[in-house]
Amino acid sequence: MAEALLEVKDLVAGYDGTSVLCGVSLEVEAGSIVAVLGANGVGKTTLNKVLSGIVRPQRGEVIFDGQRIDRKSPADIVAAGLVHVPEGRKLFPDLSVRENLELGSYRRGKAERARTMEQVLTVFPRLKERFAQRAGTLSGGEQQMVAIGRGMMGQPRLLILDEPSLGLAPRLVEEMFTLIGRLNEVGLTILLVEQNVMQSLELADAAHVMEHGCLVLSGTGAELAGNSELAKTYLGM
Amino acid sequence: MTSLDILAAAVLNGLMSGAVYALIAVGLTLVYGVLHIINFAHGAILSAAMFAAYLAFQAGVDPYVAMVPLALIFFGLGYGLQRLVIGPASHGDDRNILLITLGLSIVIENLLLAVFNSDTRTVDVAYGFSTLDLGFTFLALPRAAAFGVSCLVAVLLWILLAQTDTGKAIRAVAKEKLGASLAGIDVAHIYAVTFGLGAACLAIAACLLLPTYYVHPRVGNAYVLVAFTIVVLGGMGSIPGAIAGGLFVGVVESLSGLMFGESLGQLGIFVIFILVLLIRPTGLFGAKA
Ligand SMILES: Nc1ncnc2c1ncn2[C@@H]1O[C@H](COP(=O)(O)OP(=O)(O)OP(=O)(O)O)[C@@H](O)[C@H]1O
Ligand SMILES: [Mg+2]
């Protein structure tokens, strides 16, 4: 079996001494899409924050590309190739679209940055039209494009997307899932946190369901999609 | 001199001292805008910078010559202070940072007192009483230089923040710390750069003040009290606000000095301060609440 790009072992983490995650273990194969699903407040974002170095785990290991990253700074984790596009976008509202994107590859050289920018604008031609506009004045869909574009500017190998379809109209949600599939086809490994369960399962190679900070069900996307009991019990559908 | 000439001269002089106020306030508001803390050590660092400029003068270096090297040294000191002392000791809690800067100010002031005791010192520069003849009034040369340099620093700072990668990262961290971390920006480094810039502003202000002002271990506090007023007037964290507020306060001080006598010059500042707080608590130039 090929070694996983991301390996999470028995992760316990939380805030102010209390634990949210109860010993999460999962693997993400290079080139795959892995979905983490679950109701509000179960700890999905907390897991992402541990992976990107924002929250220090209380126990467990995060191994990315053969390297322990759970004690590294967020900037070093980005440099290692793991980028987390946060829930709620967290753009720089006063800065232009261009500046927002550029800051995603803050540590790289000008030439490399220009090349990556070219790629991002090919994926999101709409952003080229909005290049000089302040990010805070963009529509929700455009802001999500900037957030993902800023993440891509870091030249990640693993992209974590935390609820990328949040707050988007149904048609845009559809587009977002198409886009995620396309990003995966061109070689990005994706860890997807979503509330749109069926669409996520359709896209995902593997999926996990989280409840109270624990992964309670795992399988391929197709397996979980066919499990009607699962939908009722864990996802409130 | 007609009374109009006197008024014009007072406004002009107000703008001259206001520019240095603005420089000190810019350092304070920059740190507030990015780190979201009031740096209580600002006054003590200004005092330290004035002693540094004083020592340079004793060693035969003119304050205007010492300005650039001292700005660089104080940038480094400020950077190190934030990176090695304030940042690690605060454990990410803003209240801790507040207390640490307060503690630092006490340490710095007492070190200055221990080394230099509480004598008031002045320097004698050849151009101390040189003036520019503007026709309707004479302008003290050191004050005109202070105005010019302060404006130059404001322009350089604007270029830094608007055009450079570091400047953009500073603006990014100011508004969205989590987003900045996730984009790969080293927030601890940006905090330290910002703190260093604040200290560099103080070093420049110190060199501008030295030819016309006295040096004392607590000299910085008087200035920082006015600077704090300016930061609030200009809107906390707003650099254009601090510049406009600084010039405004300089003119108010000068005009109220003209009307009520030199010693009551600062009365006008605080009266206006209280009025603004009552009428427009977000500051004259700040965003509406
Ligand atoms: N900074 C924080 N400090 C304290 N508790 C927090 C913090 N962030 C999240 N929590 C708590 O941790 C738990 C898990 O939150 P988390 O954001 O990880 O959930 P989530 O699965 O992402 O939910 P959602 O689907 O609503 O985004 C919640 O009970 C939340 O209140
Ligand atoms: Mg969440």
Q: What's the CATH code of the domain at B208? A: 1.10.3470
Question: Ligand 1 atom closest to Cα of A163?
Answer: 27
pLDDT in tens, B59-112: 999 999 999 999 999 999 999 999 999 999 888 777 888 889 999 999 999 999
Q: How confident is the model at residue A234 (pLDDT cuts 50, 70, 90)?
A: low
Question: Does residue A77 share a domain with residue A125?
Answer: no
SS (H, E, C) chain B: CCHHHHHHHHHHHHHHHHHHHHHHHHHHHHHHHHHCCCCCCHHHHHHHHHHHHHHHHHCCCCHHHHHHHHHHHHHHHHHHHHHHHHHHHHCCCHHHHHHHHHHHHHHHHHHHHHHHCCCCECCCCCCCCCEEECCCCEEEHHHHHHHHHHHHHHHHHHHHHHHCHHHHHHHHHHHCHHHHHHCCCCHHHHHHHHHHHHHHHHHHHHHHHCCCCCECCCHHHHHHHHHHHHHHHHCCCCHHHHHHHHHHHHHHHHHHHHHHCHHHHHHHHHHHHHHHHHHCCCCCCCCCC
Q: How far is CA B252 from CA B10, B96, B150, in A?
A: 9, 36, 19
End-to-end CA distance of chain B: 46
Cα–ligand 2 centroid distance for A44 (angstroms): 5
What integer best gives the mean pLDDT of chain B?
Answer: 92
Same domain, A170 and A149: no
- B182 CB neighbours in chain A (<8 A) are 52, 54, 74, 78, 83-86, 90, 151
CB contact at 8 A, A99 and A149: no
Question: pTM (2 decimals)?
Answer: 0.93
Q: Which residues of B87-113 are buried (b: 16+ CB within 10 A; e: fewer)?
A: beebeeeeeebeebbeebbeebbeebe
User: Are residue A123 and residue A163 in the same domain, yes or no?
Assistant: no
Q: How many structural domains comprise chain A? A: 2
Separation of alpha carbons B8 and B5, rounded Å: 5
* Whether the Cβ atoms of residue B170 and residue B43 lie closer than 8 Å to each other: no
A53, A93, A106: residue with CB nearest B183? A106
Q: How far is B42 from chain A (nearest CA, A)?
A: 27
Instruction: State the CATH number of the domain containing residue A170.
Output: 3.40.50.300
Question: What sign does the dihedral A134-A140-A141-A143 (CA atoms) show?
Answer: positive
What tokens appear for A195 in the block?
């509330």
A47 phi and psi, to 5 degrees? -55, -45
Dihedral of alpha carbons B199, B205, B211, B214, sign? negative
A85 has a chain B CB within 8 A of its CB: yes
Task: Report pLDDT for B272.
Answer: 83
DSSP-based three-state secondary structure for A165? coil
Domain boundary among A136, A155, A174: A155
Domain that holds residue B149: 3-118+130-279
Q: Which two tokens stand for residue A36?
A: 């983490």
For residue B287, pLDDT beyond 70 = no
Alpha carbon distance A173, A196 (integer Å): 9
Record: contact B184-A78, CB cut-off 8 A: yes
CA distance A237 to chain B (A): 32
> Does A137 lie in the same domain as A161?
no
Phi first, then psi, for residue B113 (nearest 5°) are -60, -40
Q: How far is the CA of A76 from the centre of ligand 1 (A)?
A: 24
Residues A74 and A179 in one domain: yes
A192 in the same domain as A143: no
How many Å apart are CA A89 and CA A82, to the nearest integer? Answer: 17
- The verdict on residue A149 lying in a domain is yes
Length of chain B: 289
ipTM score for this prediction: 0.94
The verdict on residue A86 lying in a domain is no
Of A212-216, B85-89, B168-172, B285-289, minimum mean pLDDT range: B285-289
Range of the domain at A104: 92-155
Mean pLDDT of chain A: 93
Is residue B270 very low, low, confident or very high in pLDDT (cuts 50, 70, 90)? confident
Neighbouring CB atoms inside 10 A of B83's CB total 17
**Average pLDDT for residues B203-222, to the nearest whole number?**
94
CA A41 / ligand 1 centre spacing (Å): 5
The span from the CA of B256 to the CA of B254, in Å, is: 6
- Do A108 and A201 fall within a single domain? no
Give me the number of domains chain B comprises: 1
Q: Which position has the token pair 């003036």?
A: B131
Is B287 domain-assigned?
A: no
A231's tokens: 């939908």
The bridge status of strand A189-194 relative to strand A33-37 is parallel
> Residues of A with CB below 8 A from B181's CB?
52-54, 74-75
End of a domain among A123, A155, A187? A155
A228 & A135 share domain: no
Q: Which of A119, A138, A155 is the last residue of a domain?
A: A155
* Residue % of chain B over a pLDDT of 90: 71
